[in-house]
Amino acid sequence: MSNTTQLYLEYKNRLQKIADIKYAGAVLQWDQETYLPIKGNDARGRQIATLSELAHEQFTAEKTESLLLELLNKNDLDERQKRNIELSWYDYQKNKKLPSSFVRKSSEAINKSFHSWISARAENSFAKFEKPLQEVIDLKKEEAALLGYSDHPYNAMMNEYDTGLTVAFTDNLFSTLIPQLSILLNQIKRQPQVNNDFLLKHFDKNIQWDFGIELLKNMHFDFEAGRQDISEHPFTTNFSSEDVRVTTRIDENDFGNMTWSCIHEGGHALYEQGLPKSEYGLPLGEYCSLSIHESQSRLWENCIGRSKSYWEYHFPKLKSHFPDPLKNVNLDLFYKGINKVTPSLIRTEADELTYHFHVLIRYEIEKKLIEGSIQSKDIPSIWNEYYEKYLGVIVPDDKRGCLQDVHWSHGSFGYFATYSIGSLYAAQLWNSINNQQVKTIENLKTGDTNLILYWLRHNIFPFGRFFSSDKLCQKATGESLNAEHFINYVNKKFQSIYNFP
């Protein structure tokens, strides 16, 4: 065995042991959001903090540094090995800037924040969440200072979710996207509104659950390598590519609540299940970025899951499950109803157009919080002001307003923009899939998603973090991110649904 091979195996073993610690913590976090009894909150917070601190100490130890430095100077690594070392060195340098004590303190604050958010939602009162959230915000501002940044402290936060993503890029993206969506939205407002009342009738919880499982199976979610559960806010997590967990939530008087969260989280899960098993614990065994991750969920949720072709197969099955609420509903009415465009309160239930106004609002608030121009106490009033300004809706209470998302309680500042960016990537990927796999639409009509998954397994999943988001997009579609694909997609779709030239 050569010296390089021995060193690389030592590096791989070290990172995989660190991954074991991280994923053990992730199991505890999953349980925290699904089954943990309320009295276990404090002890669970301590357990997660200890594992987070331990993993950070192991990763930033001198032994990790010496291994990486030695391997960086080796010229007989193969391409994938070399890229793993480069990315691990980048991660090491970044994590080294954060003291382990700070990592523990942040984990403890986030645990406190999460459980305060749960209680605040139950009581419909932001006041109960305000102080724990401000503690997390202050720690995030401190984290930005420790990591370092150019131009805006929020850049340090965004970089955590998509390497190189900046305020300047995102501001420019929204300044291009929002005006075009506003034009389309105004055109839709002048047309007769489509009906979706049938989605708001009574749909039995257990039958909804069974139907959601059917949809996941049709997507080829591997239930031998994952499971679905119920949580306050739908999410996906993984502990390896062979253990991926999704959650959903069910409203018996809103069929859409569960259905598209199942499809959305299923898209995330397929990506995680498709990552290389052989690269467990290494950068090439991790997802490219949250923007690419969200492209997978938005691709399945919208481009596929809200298409007429998809429901040509699933709608008859749906009607057999729910004959009464859908008694007088045909496929055309159903398709138009599930794509109804109207300003609303809840981001996760928003249509494909107004969704991006929801994201913009959160993005703008987060920038102000991290730069320090507002505090957590200001969130409800600014939130309500922005919802009236951008969407023309009046926020009736905190639960349907600034308490609706779990992200801030998790300390996930810098995440939200990836939803919009991911939607743009999704439309671009969908365009390429259909250009390269000419039978995609016809196959969807028969419930066959194999061609779609085949394309994703060859063009997105196997690369892990080898490429940046933009490089992966170029490789898969032949060009950098191009918002025109999304604009063309929504214009064509909604011109047809709302019948305007």
The residues assigned a catalytic role are 265
Rounded Cα distance between 441 and 457, Å, is: 18
Q: Which residues of 310-336 are buried (b: 16+ CB within 10 A; e: fewer)?
A: bbbbbbeebbeebeebbeebeeeebbb
3-state SS track over 211-244: HHHHHHHHHCCCCCCEEEEECCCCCEEEEECCEE
Residue that has been written with the tokens 């007769």 in this structure: 192
Q: Is 220 left (phi over 0), alpha (psi -120 to 50) or beta?
A: left
Burial pattern 187-216, b for ≥16 Cβ within 10 A else e, equals bbeeeeebebebbebebeeeebbebbeebb
> Can you tell me the distance from the alpha carbon of 461 to that of 227, in angstroms, rounded to the nearest whole number?
20
Angle between helix 290-298 and helix 417-436 axes, rounded to 10 deg? 60
Give the integer Cα–Cα distance in Å for 55 and 219: 34
d(CA 92, CA 473): 26
Quick check: 130 and 369 in contact, CB under 8 A?
A: no
Residue 411's nearest CA partner among 169, 132, 167, 149 is 132
CA dihedral defined by 132, 133, 134, 140, rounded to 10 degrees? 120
The three-class DSSP label of residue 102 is helix
Residue 158 near residue 165, CB atoms below 8 Å: yes
Residue pointed to by tokens 């939200």: 416
Per DSSP, the residues of 252-279 read TTBHHHHHHHHHHHHHHHHHHHHS-GGG
With H, G, I as helix, E, B as strand and everything else as coil, classify residue 403: coil
How many whole angstroms separate alpha carbon 194 and alpha carbon 342?
A: 10
Residue 457: which of 438, 483, 429, 431 has the closest Cα? 429
CA 26, CA 184: separation in Å to the nearest integer?
42
* Helix H or strand E segment including 127: helix 127-147
CA pseudo-torsion sign 364, 368, 371, 375: negative
